[in-house]
Structure 1
Amino acid sequence: FNVFVYVGKRLWDIELMAIEVDNLYQAGVLDKDLYMQAKLVLRKEHRIEEELNQENKSPY
């Protein structure tokens, strides 16, 4: 849809995109297949980003 999302942190970007995809689906802009594909990609990227953040946290 030619939309750029940037709120300063990749994890936040992914969360905002997930909310926007939900809104687009509820408004009837996205069909169910495209909605499900987008949600799966965003869920995967969110998990990856959380894992990277956990690895980069130092206990010191």
Structure 2
Amino acid sequence: MIQKINTFFDVQQLLKKFGFIIYFKDKADMYEMMEQEIKSLYDYRLISKDEYLKCRLIISQRRSK
């Protein structure tokens, strides 16, 4: 199930495929929850290592803005 992940929207769509729609008023909490869910998907081998690392990178970049 490898897909191109280039933007924050792509990360959201990946999570949505697995039934996760994450939205919090506090952006820091939202990014933290997204990272936790991405890690869970990777731990259960539902996404590849490349997808996992790319998602973490994109979330980290968004968090630093």
TM-score (norm 2): 0.66
1:25, 1:35 → 2: CA distance?
6
Q: How many residues align?
A: 48
Counterpart for residue 49 of structure 2: 32
Q: List runs of 5+ in structure 1 lacking aligned partners.
A: 49-60
1:15, 1:47 → 2: CA distance?
13
Task: Name the SS for the 1:15 alignment partner.
Answer: helix
2:47, 2:59 → 1: CA distance?
15
CA RMSD in angstroms, aligned pairs only: 1.1
Counterpart for residue 28 of structure 2: 11
- Return structure 1 stretches of 4+ with deviation > 4 angstroms: none
The CA deviation at 1:30 is: 0.7
Percentage of pairs with the same residue: 21
The CA deviation at 1:7 is: 2.2
Which digits, 9 at most, give the CA deviation of each residue in 1:2-23, with x for residues without a partner?
A: 2321122112101100011011
Which digits, 9 at most, give the CA deviation of each residue in 1:5-60, with x for residues without a partner?
A: 11221121011000110111001001011111000001111111xxxxxxxxxxxx
Q: List runs of 5+ in structure 2 lacking aligned partners.
A: 1-14
